[in-house]
Structure formats: structure tokens, C-alpha cells
Structure 1
Amino acid sequence: MYKVKTFNQISVKGLDRFPRGDYEVGSDIGSPDAVLLRSHKLHDETLPESVKCIARAGAGVNNIPVDDYTKKGVVVFNTPGANANAVKELVMAGLLLGSRDIVGGLDYVQELTHMTDAGEMGKLLEKEKKRFAGNELYGRTLGVVGLGAIGSMVAEMALAMGMNVVGFDPALSVEAAWRLPSQVERMENLQSLLGRADFITLHVPAIEPTRHMINSESLQAVKPGAILLNFARDAIVDADAVVTSLNSYQECGKGLKQYICDFPEPCLLNRKDVIAMPHIGASTAEAEENCAVMAADQLMDYLHNGNIKNSVNYPVINMARAEGYRITFSNDNVSGVLGNVLSVFTENEVNVIDMVNKSRGDIAYNIIDVAGKPTDAVMQAIAEVEHVINVRLLD
């Protein structure tokens, strides 16, 4: 029986994916084979040696020490796209809030508690409504930074609303390119996009190359009066630089007109040109269910079959099960390791039925199906091959 330790409140729909006869799942489990979590930070946690894989029910993995776990042979999964629709819809709300002074109008109405005559209130609102006039999104240009699962959906939504869309993604995959609407104009760099867009929306992961990609230098290129939306990650934006840009627009008409985000910081509070939400981008019942289901399925496929999909540190790899037994092992991505492992099979007369080998950066991962059950001595010999990190036998 496999053991799965959970952190945070995981959707019941996801937990129900685990067959009770094969899995013990709970928050108080010792020596787990896998960990399933949402936002719980693992940086200060001692990882049990029994853990083989971790699944984050969400896209970002900055709460997980991925590099450390990679060296230990622990596969880290995320669930890209599972919450994409929830984030896309909140981006739509952000665009509407930025184009029309909806918040200002709502606040004004709530201040009219002294009025008791509906007719008089109606006359006053008819007179004052011009204070909250805005612009339509139709015909405006949206710049999408990051054209993955969420970015491509946002681009498609904006096109349906009659906006022009320009996009930038230095790491655009072939799969994402096929998913992207043909009407999206690709920009060569971030500065070109910032200079073209009336609205800028960010959809890139929080990794070292994207840290503070929106900063005082990049904001020099922004179109005067542009509105910036960040429903991706707080680390992507230098909030102090954004405040400086907002102040510049108020003083001389150059810089950002408004900042709409899902990541409040002290310097952003009490500003009429900032709308900050409490990190609710993926906070829908549907998104939480989708993330939990995807995370659970990925854990089970890895534990049972050794297959890897949507890992942030290991290669994508999949091999259909054959008759016999399956061995998986990870190793440092250096030459000769696979050959040395195959030599162990040859020396012990173990017949290989099928195999696949993939690598990602400094890590390689292997799935090998063999005809008969290998002995403990064979498994130990594989584990002792130089540069092998860990090895598993799957019935």
C-alpha cells in the first residue's frame, strides 16, 4: 500500500481518486511515498527519505525546494492549465475594472447613505456619473507576456472581445505555439511589447530569469497611460518600481496609469491607481478540484508505472506496461551510466523487454521492463552503479 501525506485543504474530488485499497491518504502519515499539497512551504520541512514524489495542486512551485529534491531523486509535479480558466476569468474582470472606473462608482454610491429620496438620488447619480466614465476595451491593444496555458486562453478571450493582441514569450514551446490563436502578433522582446500595449498582462512562472522582469528599467519602455495586470506571481514585478511609474504618470503623464494585481504589498495600499486582490486567481471550486484531480492522477501514474508528466524537474516520459516487472532509476546525466546498468542485467541474465531513457538538464531518468523479477542483489548492484541516484522496482 502506498502512503500519501497531504498538506492544506485538498479537494475531496482529488482525494477520492486514490483507491482506498491501494492508498492510505491523510495529513498525519509517517514515512509517506508521496506528498500532495497546495501552498504549504516545504523549505523548512525535513523530507522523509521514503518520499519519491511531490505534487503541487497548482502551477507555481516556489514553496518547494525543487533543486534540493532533484538531487535526492524526488520528482516534483505541478498542474499547469488546471486553474487556467479561473485565472483567465479574473483577468477579464481586471481588464474591465481597469477600463471603467467601476470601483470608484461603487464606492461613491455607498457614500450616499444620507439620502432618503430615491428620486433625488437618481437625479444626483445622473449628474455625477460622468465622473466615472471610462473607455471600451474594443480596439485596444493587450500585451500578453507568457503564452502558455493561461496566456493563450487570455489572448483568445481578448480577441473575442475585439481587442488587438500582441504577445511575448522567449520560451514558447511547440505545443503552446499550436495552441496560440494566429491573430496574436509575436513581439521580439519585452520592451517592444511594453511600448505597444494599452494593457499588459503577465503569465510567466516565478523563476530566477523572470524575477522582477517588470522593473524600473523595463518600465521606461511602457506606453504612457498603460495599465499593468499581474495575476501570475508577485516576484515577477518590482512593486517599488511600479509605484514610481504610477507617480510619474500622475506628475507628468509618463508611466503606468494603473496597476491591477493579485498580490498586495504595503507600498500598494491606499492608492486609487492600484486595485489589489487577495491572491484569489485560482480560488474557485472548479479550479481547486481540477488541480487536485490532476495532481492525484500524476502521483498515481508515477508510483504505479514510473511515468512522468508535468514535472518541473524531471523529463516527460511514458511507456506502456508490458508483461513482467518494471525498474525505474534516475541518475546524473553523464555518459556511461545506462550502459553500466545494462551490464548488470547481462551479468545476471536478466532479459530486457523494453526500455526508454530521457534526460532534462543534469538529470536522466529510465524505465526498463524485464521478463522476470530481479533479485535483491540485482537491484542493489544497480543502486551501486556510479551516478545512479535512486532505483525502484514496480510489480
Structure 2
Amino acid sequence: MAIYKIKTLNNISDKGLDLFDDDFIFGPDIEEPDAILVRSAKMHDYNFSKNTRMVARAGSGTNNIPIEKCSELGIIVCNSPGANANAVKEEVLFALLLGTRKFLEAMAWVKNTKSDEIEKEVEAGKKAFVGSELRGKKLGVIGLGAVGQLVAEMGVSLGMDVYGYDPFITLRGALRLDTNVTYLEKLEDLMKICDFITIHVPYNEGTKNIINKELLDLAKPQMTLINLARGGLVDLEALKEKLEKDQINKYICDFPSRETLAMKNTINIPHLGASSPESEENSASMAVRQMMDYLKNGNIKNSVNYPASDMGICKSIHRITVAHKNIPNMLGQITNIIAEEEINISNLINNHRNGWAYTMIDIDSEVKESLRHKLNAIDGVTRVRLIK
């Protein structure tokens, strides 16, 4: 029976680690690991073992992982989308209140009050901190994944008029969207009408500075912008100009930088979106389950580099998995080699995503190790596994 070695690069919730069965050993000192569990550790200079087949992120963002390098090595990178969704949703509620009610300013004023007649001073001074209610305001949600959908539903429950936009929305995501949320096809339209805009998309080359000068020029006067997703999604130079001119009410972010700390009307939260025990437990549990399923059965779920692929529990004599580039005649070459070995294929799936592909093949006969070497020799193949 195979024993899989798992290296942990951060402290991982025990609730997740407890899911590993007796086929797994894990810890920070594991050498030549089959897979790596990580939270926030920077891996761009990491020297991967030839045995490493997966990196599982106990969280949603994967900026700390060298995705392209992993793809070239045939290493599956997966994350845990939605595991921290409720925690982030609650932080959005906090941000919405900070954006419309002057709670922070008022509490700071009270703390510095020296008067012996504090009750009278509070009653006289509180008018300086009047704010408006959320009910009836327009909320724009950019990104309608697990977090964005919860935020949109929360906005509806608060009595807000909610508008959604998602450049990557899927049919399944659209069907799950609350019917009280108005979906907009253009981000420009959302910018023009919303009092609050909150961002919930991943950071990549396609979303870098998704909120740019052109969009900020269209923003409704005194709009409040909330970014609890990732740094890099907002053009800070353009935003700074709008804040200086009081054209934007506030910027509330969960990713402080020297730039944001120096910006007017900006509230910097120290990356607390997923900082709850429940969130860390959910993320670790999701990452561990995905890792076990991949190592034992070859199934891929929530990968950010290779396509989702699932053939269930491996019940055949062998399951062959091939990670490869999505290039012409790849599937033909794979099946021809198997046919030359006089092996019958009982089941097969082939999926692709963004230039990479994954083929899973179940066979009901024994195979030689030489088959794996022949498949590995195909130009464009990055990793072949024989799963018993």
C-alpha cells in the first residue's frame, strides 16, 4: 500500500490534518514530498522535488505559488474557493458600515474626550458624526463567485439595491445568483450608478487594475470602494487623485501598503478577511480532501492550472493519468501507445484549460512500468501516473 508524504509549509488547521488517513504522513520536515500544503508561504523560489505532484493552497489566492512553473512540471495547483466566503462576507458588512457611518471617527473622539461631563459632551458632539443608512443604497458587486454571491445576498437582505458584474461568470454561477440581484453586462454601467462597490475577483494579468482611471472617471460622486480581495486590483495612482479631490468618499482595503497608508480617506484593514478559526478550518479541510482524492484517484478539483477532471473512486486494476499540453494529436498518441501494448481501455476522459490538458484512462489489465516511460516520452507530456 502506498504511503503518501505531505509537506506543510505553514501551520495548517488540525481539523484539516485530522482528515488524512493512515495512507498519509505529514509535517514541516517531510523530504521528497508527494504533495505540499501551504497557506501564505512564498514559493516562487521553491525547489520542487521530482516526486511532488500537487500543491494545495488552504485558501483562495494563489499569488504565492509559481503557477506556470508548476504547470510545466506537471504539478497540479489547487485552492479552496469559498471556504472563507462567510468570513469575508462579514468583513464586507463591516466595511459597508465604515463607509457610511462615522463609527471610527466618533470612537476616537470619545476616547480623547477630557470632560468630566461626558454624557453632556457626547450629546452635544455626536451631530458631527452623523452618517446615512445602507437601506435603499445601491451596492455593486464585482465578481459573483462564492464570496460575491454571499455579499450580494447580504446586500439584498439589508434592503440595498444590488447590482452584479462578473467577467468570468459561468452558467452554474448565473443560475445560483439571487433573483433580486440585477446583473449588468458592462462594468462601466455598474460604476455609474452604485453608491458602494466591492471587489471579489482573483488577481491575475486579466484583472490587474480592473478598477482603473477610466472607470473611476465614471464613478458616481462620493462612491465608496471596497477591496477585500487582493492588492493590485485597483489603480492606486488614479484612486489617490479621486480621493484628494473628494470625488470618491472612501477606499477600504484589506491589503495595506505604503501607498494606501498615505492616501486620504482610506481605511486599511490588516488582511483579516479570512482570519477566523472557522475559515482556516474550512480551507484546510477542503485542501486536504482535494489532495487525498488526487493522490489516490487522480481526480482534480478546484485547480488553477489544469482542468477539473473526475472519474470517481479508482475501481479498475489501473488508472493512468497524463498531464500534458493541449496540442493537436496528443490524445491520439496516448491511446496509440496503449493500443500497441494490447491494453483495452474501459473508460477515458480528456479535458483542457488555458493551454493545459489532463487525460484519465481506466484499464482492466496489468501494465508494465515501461508504459509510463513511453507516455512520458511524448513531446508535451508533463507527468504520467499509474494509480493502482
Instruction: Give the TM-score, by structure 2 length.
Output: 0.96
In the alignment, structure 1 segments of 5+ residues that lack a partner are: 250-254
Which residue does 2:356 correspond to in 1? 363
Aligned twin of 2:280: 288
Pick the aligned partner of 1:351 from 334, 344, 353. Answer: 344
In structure 1, what is the equivalent of residue 104 of structure 2? 103
Q: Aligned pair in 2 of structure 1 residues 30, 182: CA closer, same or farther (>3 Å)?
A: same
Q: How big is the shift at 1:65?
A: 1.0
- CA distance in 1 between counterparts of 2:263 and 2:5 reads 48
In the other structure, the counterpart of 1:175 is 172
The one-letter code of the counterpart of 2:236 is A
Moved over 3 A (4+): none
Aligned-pair CA distance for 1:384: 1.8
Query: Structure 1 343/262 Cα, relative in aligned 2: closer, same or farther at 3 Å?
Result: same
Shift of 1:324: 1.3
Range with bigger deviation, 84-93 or 64-73: 64-73
Tell me which residue corresponds to 2:322: 329
Query: Displacement, 1:270?
Result: 5.8
Identity among equivalent pairs (%): 44
The secondary structure found in structure 2 opposite 1:296 is: helix
Structure 1 window deviating more from structure 2 (145-154 vs 377-386): it is 377-386
How far the C-alpha of 1:111 sits from its partner, in A, is 0.3
Distance 2:14 2:43 in 1: 22
Displacement after TM superposition at 1:220 (Å): 0.4
> How many corresponding residue pairs?
385
Match of 2:37 in 1: 36
- Deviation per CA, 1:247-280: give whole Å up to 9, x if none: 111xxxxx21111111112233266621110001
- The equivalent residue for 1:126 is 123
Q: CA deviation at 1:388?
A: 2.0
Mapped contact 2:254–2:272 kept (Cα < 8 A): yes
Q: Secondary structure at the match of 1:308?
A: coil
TM-aligned CA distance change 1:206 to 1:270, over 3 Å = closer
Counterpart amino acid of 2:267? I
Out of 1, 14, 17, the position equivalent to 2:16 is 14
Determine the structure 2 residue equivalent to 1:252: none
Q: Which residue of 2 aligns with 1:204?
A: 201
Q: Return the match for 1:316 from 305, 308, 314.
A: 308
Deviation for aligned residue 1:387: 2.5
What is the letter of the counterpart of residue 37 of structure 2?
L
Residues 364, 74 of structure 1: CA spacing in aligned structure 2 closer, same or farther, 3 A cutoff?
same
SS at match of 2:308: coil
Partners of 1:298 and 1:393 in 2: how far apart?
Answer: 18
Greater shift, 297-306 or 381-390, is seen at 381-390
Look up the SS of the partner of 1:181 in the other structure. Answer: coil
Aligned equivalent of 2:260: 268
Give a deviation string over 1:50-69, Cα, whole Å, max 9, x none.
11010111111111110111
Please give the secondary structure, in 2, of the residue aligned with 1:124.
helix
Superposition TM-score, scaled by structure 1 size: 0.95
Q: Is the 8 A contact 2:211 2:235 kept in 1?
A: yes
Equivalent of residue 340 in structure 1, options 305, 328, 333: 333
